[in-house]
Structure 1
Amino acid sequence: MAAPDLPGFRPGTVVTGASHGGQYTIQSLIGKGANGNVYLVRTAGGQQAALKVGPEKPELKAEVEVLAQLKKSELKNGDHRSFLLDADRYQTEDRSVPFYVMKFVRGVPIDAYIRKYGYRHIGTAGLGLLERLSGLHRAGFAFGDLKPCHVLVEESGGVELVDYGGATVIGANVKQYSGWYDRKYWNAGTRTADPGYDLFAFAVLCLHVFDERALRRVDAALLPQTRSVEDLIQLAGRIPALKPFEPWLARALRGGFHNAREAHAQWKVLCRLYPTSSKKGASKLLATAFFGSLILLGIVLYTGLSI
């Protein structure tokens, strides 16, 4: 269910924060959800950003609190790529509505990115995702509702998590989850928010992106009480493109990593066995082949003249 339209939020409307004074010009509506509407805006400095505004609901407040804590943690660790830019209230004629402003990510969901650029890019995309999860975990939260539409990858390869509505304080019960990505769904653990919950979801995400049909078949063939993490591990072993990451996937599905930093380090090691093809690499290969053919031609000519 979408949140009700908020008066005055039309293209060209200038949203001014009542406390901080930030000004954001509405460009277009990006999407609607139960907790609010998201707009593409232009800041006073001319940069594009995304503004989420919604009714007075605890869910929206909780999102802002998570992002604020994440920003604080990132700044403490010298990271200045914070997703949260501002949080304030906008005063209309008859009410005050909360909003927050976030970085606008020019990216596509991770499954669409892999389809467009090739399966080998899961290596670098996975590193970026694990880095973002690690930062969130250090701030004291698990993402919770990890799935393809919540992982955007930019053309440059940068990765960003979006929609923090499911982010949950580590140790509490996960607030939002989705079927396949929920470890309890597979009888593989609890719904307690912890790093392992997100890592399990990332492993299932890989299976979903690389062979959705097979994942659906596995799920359809099992009863709720017979679902098992071993079924997922066996599926991972049957997907050729994921072969280099099979040990990592099995470990994540079984809850074998202590934290996302450890998972990131192991993924990075496996990436060396799974290089992403590039134009530079292709050019080097062509050059090698060209010079190799010249040498071969020289040998043939020399042999012919000698005879």
Structure 2
Amino acid sequence: MAAPELPGFGPGTVVIGAGQGGQYTIQSLIGRGANGTVYLVRTAGGQTAALKAGPEKPELKAEVEVLAALKKRELESGVRRSFLLDADRFRIDGRSVPFYVMKYVRGMPIDAFVRKYGHRQIGAAGLSLLERLAGLHRAGFIFGDLKPCHVLVEEGGGVELVDYGGASALGGGVKQYSGWYDRKYWNAGERTADPGYDLFAFAVLCLHVFDEPGLSRLDRGLLPQTRSAEDLVKLAGAIPALKPFEPWLVRALRGSFPGSREAYAHWKAICRLHPVRAGRASSGMLAAAFCGSLVLLGAVLYAAFSL
């Protein structure tokens, strides 16, 4: 169920944070989801960003807490690419509306990116994704609801995670999950927030991207009680394009990685053995393709983000 409308949040509205004083001019509505409404905004400095506002709900507060913890961890590590830009409250018509401002990601879902630029691109994109997941795990959370629409590949080839509504504290229960990407759905483990949950989901994401019909047939052919990680392992071994990554996928599906750092290192070693030659997805052509579709991709990104 989508969040209720926010009266007064229309194009031209200047949102001023009551605590931090940040100013954001609303440009347009991007999308609405259960935890809030997302708007395209322009900062006081003229930068494009996205603002998510909503009613007083613990889910929205939890998203901000996750992003704040991740930002703190990144700053301590010398990384300055935080997704969270600001978090505050806006007073309007006697009401106090919580909001947070995030980086506006110009990119496309990872499945669309790989299909457009070739299956070899999964190497670099996967490495960047694993780096982001490892950073989140170090900050004390898992992403939880990992699926293609929540993984965006940017113009420069980097990956950004969007929609942290499913992020869960390590050791707790998984708050949000989606069918195929949930290891309990496959009787491969519990819905406990540990790094292995995200790694399992990424392995299934690879199967989905490279053989969605095969994954769908596998699912339809099994009873809920007979699904298993070994069924996914067999499918992984039957996809030629994923052959170099089969050992990694098997370990992730079976839950045998001790942590995300080891998973990242293993994936990186595979990429070194199978480097991608310059091609269609390199520099000029990739940049041109992204620039030619920024508006459409931005709409797709945040429509997916807010659901």
Check whether TM > 0.5: yes
Residue in 2 that maps onto 1:189: 189
Whichever residue aligns with residue 97 of structure 1, its letter is V
Residue in 1 that maps onto 2:114: 114
Q: What secondary structure is seen at the aligned counterpart in 2 of 1:177?
A: coil
Contact 1:35 1:54 in 2 (8 A): yes
**% of aligned pairs identical?**
77
Whichever residue aligns with residue 107 of structure 2, its letter is G
Contact 2:133 2:143 in 1 (8 A): yes
Q: What secondary structure is seen at the aligned counterpart in 2 of 1:247?
A: helix
Contact 1:150 1:161 in 2 (8 A): yes
Residue in 1 that maps onto 2:166: 166
Deviation at 1:155, TM superposition (A): 2.2
Residue in 1 that maps onto 2:123: 123
Between structure 1 and structure 2, the one with the greater Rg is 1
1:1-307 equivalence runs, <5 A:
1-279=1-279
Contact 2:108 2:152 in 1 (8 A): yes
User: Which runs of 5 or more residues in structure 1 are unaligned?
Assistant: 283-307
Deviation at 1:275, TM superposition (A): 2.3
1: CA distance, partners of 2:113 / 2:31: 20
Provide the aligned C-alpha RMSD in A.
Answer: 1.3
Contact 1:120 1:277 in 2 (8 A): no
User: Which runs of 5 or more residues in structure 2 are unaligned?
Assistant: 283-307
**CA 1:281–1:75 in structure 2 vs 1: closer, same or farther (change >3 Å)?**
closer
Q: What secondary structure is seen at the aligned counterpart in 2 of 1:272?
A: helix
Residue in 2 that maps onto 1:296: none
2: CA distance, partners of 1:122 / 1:209: 10
TM-score by length of 1: 0.90
Please list the CA deviations of residues 149-186 of structure 1 after superposition, one character each: whole Å capped at 9, or x if unmatched: 11011121110000000000000010000010010110
Whichever residue aligns with residue 56 of structure 1, its letter is E
1: CA distance, partners of 2:45 / 2:85: 13
Whichever residue aligns with residue 192 of structure 1, its letter is T
Contact 2:14 2:26 in 1 (8 A): yes
TM-score by length of 2: 0.90
1: CA distance, partners of 2:92 / 2:71: 28
Residue in 2 that maps onto 1:299: none
Q: Which 4+ residue blocks in structure 1 deviate beyond 3 angstroms?
A: 279-282
Please list the CA deviations of residues 112-140 of structure 1 after superposition, one character each: whole Å capped at 9, or x if unmatched: 11111111100000011000000000000
**CA 1:144–1:231 in structure 2 vs 1: closer, same or farther (change >3 Å)?**
same
Deviation at 1:229, TM superposition (A): 0.4
Question: How many residues are treated as equivalent by the alignment?
Answer: 282
1: CA distance, partners of 2:273 / 2:224: 36
Deviation at 1:279, TM superposition (A): 4.3
Deviation at 1:280, TM superposition (A): 10
Say which structure, 1 or 2, has more relative contact order (CA 8 Å, 6+ apart): 2
Residue in 1 that maps onto 2:294: none
Q: What secondary structure is seen at the aligned counterpart in 2 of 1:78?
A: coil
2: CA distance, partners of 1:34 / 1:273: 43
Whichever residue aligns with residue 182 of structure 1, its letter is D
